[in-house]
Amino acid sequence: MQKSLLIDPDKCTSCLQCEMACSFEHEGAFNPAKSRIKIFEFEHGRRAIPYTCTQCAEAWCLHACPVEALVRNQATGAVEVKEDVCVGCKVCTIACPFGTINYNQSTGKVAKCDLCGGDPQCAAACPTGAITYVDSDWTGYERMKQWAVKTDNRPQA
């Protein structure tokens, strides 16, 4: 079963544990500047919205790469960067409609979410459940359930 990151901005408190976990997993240091997931805050913190790669099935970045440095991990469904192949041409960063693949000056390669090989550390670190890792076919399950309960107009016991 493939799994996807499910993001619920309503729950996010903007603590950045996810950004630290991401950078620790990929860089060995706590360093939000190198995180592949970013939290965006609006209006003095009224809203905090986590955003990262959704691992497109038809991935623009993958198609755009001239050297085939971007490859699909069949087990996790993630598009991963082969660092030894990437030439840092940045064409993928232009192709991605969402901005979730970015150049990393310190390595000269691009970096993106790789779902940590199937154990995403952002989801593990998130204290509020704003990021969870669920069945890709059923990312809408909880939301459906919330609406479903509203259609039940029988008196509650």
C-alpha span between 90 and 122 (Å, rounded)? 25
Local structure of residue 10 (DSSP, 8 states): G
| Residue 14 or 139 having the CB closest to ligand SF4 | 14
Residue 138 φ then ψ, to 5°: -130, 40
Which residue in the set 3, 4, 6, 12 belongs to the binding site for ligand SF4 (CB under 6 A)? 12
By the rule CB under 8 A, 7 interacts with another protein: no
9 interacts with another protein by CB under 8 A: no
**Choice between 37 and 110, CB closer to ligand SF4:** 37
Q: Which helix (H) or strand (E) holds 141?
A: helix 141-150
User: For residues 57-89, b (16+ Cβ closer than 10 Å) or e, as one string?
Assistant: eebbbbebbeeebbeeeeebbbbbbeeeebeee
- Which 73-132 residues touch another protein, going by CB under 8 A? 106, 125, 127-128
Closer Cβ to another protein, 39 or 59, answer by number: 39
Calpha distance 57→155 (Å, rounded): 44
* Binding partner at 130 among ligand SF4, another protein, none, C-beta below 5 to 8 Å by kind: ligand SF4
Least distance in Å: CB of 109 to another protein? 16
Residue closer to another protein (CB basis): 7 or 16: 16
41 binds ligand SF4 (CB under 6 A): no
Q: What are phi and psi of 61, to 5 degrees?
A: -60, -45
Could you say which DSSP state residue 129 is in? S
In whole angstroms, give the CA distance from residue 133 to residue 120: 8
Given the complex with ligand SF4, which of 49 and 91 has the nearer CB atom? 49
Candidate residues 6, 7, 16, 81; the one interacting with another protein per rule CB under 8 A: 16
Binding site for ligand SF4 (CB under 6 A): 12-18, 39, 48, 50, 125-126, 128, 130-131
